Amino acid sequence: MFLSRPAEYPLDEMIDVAAGRTRADLVLKNASVVNVFSGEIEEGDVAIHGNYIAGIGEYVGSNIIDVEGKCVVPSFIDGHVHVESSMVMPIQYARAVVPHGTGSVIADPHEIANVLGMEGIMYMSKSMRGGPLDFYIMLPSCVPSTDLETNGVALDFLDIQPLMTEEYVLGLAEAMNYQGVVFREPEILEKIRVALSMGKRVDGHAPGIDGHELNAYCAARITSEHECTELEEAERKLARGMHIHIREGSTAKNLQDLIGVIRPETADFCSLCTDDRNTLDLLEKGHIDSMVRTAIQSGLDPILAIKVATLSTARHYGLQYVGAVAPGYHADITVLDNLEDVNVEMVLKQGTLVAKGGQMVQEFGVQEQPRLRRSVNIHYLEPDDFQVRARGDLMNVIGMIPNQLVTEHLVEETPVDGELAIPDVDRDLLKVAVIERHNATPPHSFGFVRGMGLKEGAMASSIAHDSHNIVAVGTNDHDLMEAAIQLARMQGGISVIRGGEVLEALPLPIAGLMSDRPIEEVSEKLKDLREAADTLGSDLEEPFMAMAFLSLPVIPHLKITDMGLVDVNRFRLIDLFDVPSP
């Protein structure tokens, strides 16, 4: 899981180096050290001995790196991320984020767990070992997230309990069944009890919760939240003791709206996270460094921005001697050009230079990958399967909101052709389909969505949070069917279809979520897919991830799963034509 850790801290040696009696292994000369404890910048040398920082001051070392007055900061920590959303294997993910100054991530393998259960979790665990990035894991709490969709595997507390004893496991991941917590459903409470009994953290996921329900949720000792979209919500939850993870992913972008929650008196209780950010965005825009840069440019004090990206996250999760440049701490260090542009010039992991000038300085060998079972198995499809008979003049429509996971619950006049409800591209009403893909069973459902902007063709993906059935959006039934069938041929991925022909496709054969190809190839293919989506008329910055979240039934207000439309506010399925009363 990690780079090799010494079995025992070299106490005597560290004291001698720190005291100046013994030469350090490495000295970063002429550093401007950002002190996340005092909020000051300290000029001096940083002495490193083995894997650790020995001291700050004047030091002599066997090896010298002159940083020429540049800013030395702790390496960044992503407080909550689904590595699978990058669409690449963990070692390729590390190649993307380490050059941007990231030293650790708190990963929730929730996505692959919904497809392959413990087989998927163990795959991620093994794949995360031996690279230049520390992967800590929060074990999935809700697999499946609700009973309103079909997923690959169900996990109970007996499944996850053995792994809770592992050092790299920090606790229980986002308790997204917040209604289950509030109303004491035994399944989720048993998992919370397991985590708490072992002294582990429990992460939250409760968008919009308030009042007595918020109190009840916090009373379950759920201590973090990454689903805030408005400042008032973040302030309310922070006041109830929740640690606020401010998110900036490929689709959900909440940093600008929530930055006001970070103040000197609250910074200890705030962190930065990406949640879901694809490979193309990681390579082109960066990782946590991009969030720090944006926060500073938006007026946040630079040292405060760095603190919430490092020490605050480490302290929340109980990571010992991580998240600061200080004696005795792990030598996970990032060198920035300055505190305005936040360009990462150099990255050290446990005292070893691993990245410089935006590139890895050494490559890591290709890991032997465990074999996984096939995971894209769909029932035979016919063109008629995609027809929707109109049963009313009005219908429920999912209204997408730019840069948000929440959707609107719209009511629109039903576009018809004879007896059939059909897409209407002039009104941006497109058909959305969700097809069960785990067990080749018949469940599939259809609805309509506004906000994708397609004028022709269809798109489909086997990334469809949280159960990762096939989700497809299109302007006609034939292309919808072909887009779904293409995913079965590839054993997962993303497809863009027009006139029955494949414009672009990205195979994701690892659980239908990740590629087995190098990060550069996946990034280029994502560019091709975006261009293909543009030719169909979409003007969304990230159309595929936006489509993937249409099926997430734990985020308000209206979503769709393989079982049908989900009124998330009431946690129940509704009929397409059973519109709410005015």
pLDDT in tens, 87-111: 999 999 999 999 999 999 999 999 9
Q: How far apart are CA 540 and CA 452, in angstroms?
A: 7
Same domain, 308 and 403: no
In 3D, which of 152, 164, 223, 169 has the Cα closest to residue 191?
A: 164
> What pairing do the DSSP bridges indicate for beta strands 243-247 and 224-225?
parallel
pLDDT range class, residue 382, cuts 50, 70, 90: confident
- pLDDT exceeds cutoff 80 at 112: yes
pLDDT range class, residue 1, cuts 50, 70, 90: very low
Q: Which of 298, 320, 342 is the last residue of a domain?
A: 320
- H or E stretch covering 559: strand 558-561
Question: What pLDDT is recorded for position 4?
Answer: 43
Characterize 421-446 residue by residue with b for buried, 16 or more Cβ atoms within 10 angstroms of its Cβ, and e for exposed.
bbbbeeebbbbbbbbbbbeeeebbbb
Question: What pLDDT is recorded for position 265?
Answer: 97
Same domain, 247 and 124: yes
Q: How far apart are CA 470 and CA 439, in angstroms?
A: 12
Same domain, 291 and 150: yes
Same domain, 269 and 394: no
The number of CA neighbours under 13 Å toward the Cβ of 258 is: 29
Tell me, yes or no, whether 42 lies in a domain: no
Continuous H helices in 198-353: 211-219, 231-239, 255-258, 279-285, 288-297, 302-308, 311-316
Tell me, yes or no, whether 45 lies in a domain: no
Query: Is-contact 522 530, C-beta < 8 A?
Result: no
Q: How far apart are CA 377 and CA 488, in angstroms?
A: 7
Same domain, 295 and 421: no
Q: What is the CATH number of the domain that holds 201?
A: 3.20.20.140
Q: Which of 320, 354, 370 is the last residue of a domain?
A: 320
| Both tokens assigned to 168 | 């790299």
Q: How far apart are CA 233 and CA 220, in angstroms?
A: 19
Tell me, yes or no, whether 278 lies in a domain: yes
In 3D, which of 492, 484, 488 has the Cα closest to residue 432?
A: 484
Mean pLDDT of 523-536: 96
Tell me, yes or no, whether 19 lies in a domain: no
Mean pLDDT of 47-69: 97
Same domain, 315 and 392: no
In DSSP notation, 138-165 reads EE-S-SSS-SSS--S----HHHHGGGGG
> What is the domain range of residue 566?
383-574
Q: Which of 278, 297, 320 is the last residue of a domain?
A: 320
Q: Estimate the crossing angle of helix 118-127 against helix 90-97, to 10 degrees.
A: 50
Question: What pLDDT is recorded for position 370?
Answer: 66
pLDDT in tens, 157-206: 999 999 999 999 999 999 999 999 999 999 999 999 999 999 999 999 99
Same domain, 154 and 277: yes
Prior bond of 556 cis (ω within 30°): no
**pTM score:** 0.93
Same domain, 171 and 275: yes
Q: How far apart are CA 57 and CA 64, in angstroms?
A: 14
- H or E stretch covering 124: helix 118-127
For residue 409, the cross-strand partners are 398
Q: How far apart are CA 565 and CA 94, in angstroms?
A: 37
- pLDDT exceeds cutoff 70 at 369: no
In 3D, which of 442, 323, 300 has the Cα closest to residue 385?
A: 442
Question: What pLDDT is recorded for position 3?
Answer: 44
For residue 81, the cross-strand partners are 107, 275
Tell me, yes or no, whether 508 lies in a domain: yes
> How large a percentage of the chain has pLDDT more than 70?
97
- pLDDT exceeds cutoff 70 at 368: no
Q: How far apart are CA 349 and CA 138, in angstroms?
A: 22
Same domain, 294 and 417: no
Mean pLDDT of 508-534: 96
Same domain, 423 and 500: yes
Characterize 265-301 residue by residue with b for buried, 16 or more Cβ atoms within 10 angstroms of its Cβ, and e for exposed.
ebbebbbbbbbbbbbbbbbebbbbbbbbbbbbeeebb
Mean pLDDT of 417-434: 97
Same domain, 228 and 299: yes
Tell me, yes or no, whether 35 lies in a domain: no
Same domain, 405 and 297: no
To the nearest 10°, report the CA torsion of 281, 284, 286, 287. Answer: 20
Tell me how many domains the chain contains. 2
Number of H helices, E strands in the chain: 17, 30
In 3D, which of 308, 413, 335, 287 has the Cα closest to residue 46?
A: 335
Question: What pLDDT is recorded for position 364?
Answer: 63
- Say how far residue 153 (Cα) sits from the centre of its chain: 21
- SS3 call for 137: strand
Residues 6 or more apart whose Cβ sits within 8 Å of residue 582: none
Q: How far apart are CA 124 and CA 424, in angstroms?
A: 42
What mean pLDDT is reported for the chain? 94
Neighbour count for residue 363 (Cβ, 10 Å): 8
Mean pLDDT of 244-268: 96
Q: How far apart are CA 139 and CA 125, in angstroms?
A: 11
Tell me, yes or no, whether 491 lies in a domain: yes
Question: What pLDDT is recorded for position 5?
Answer: 52
Tell me, yes or no, whether 528 lies in a domain: yes
In 3D, which of 104, 129, 86, 102 has the Cα closest to residue 517?
A: 86
Residues 6 or more apart whose Cβ sits within 8 Å of residue 160: 139, 140, 172, 191, 194
Query: Is-contact 451 399, C-beta < 8 A?
Result: yes
Mean pLDDT of 473-478: 97
- pLDDT exceeds cutoff 80 at 367: no
Q: Estimate the crossing angle of helix 90-97 against helix 519-536, to 10 degrees.
A: 80
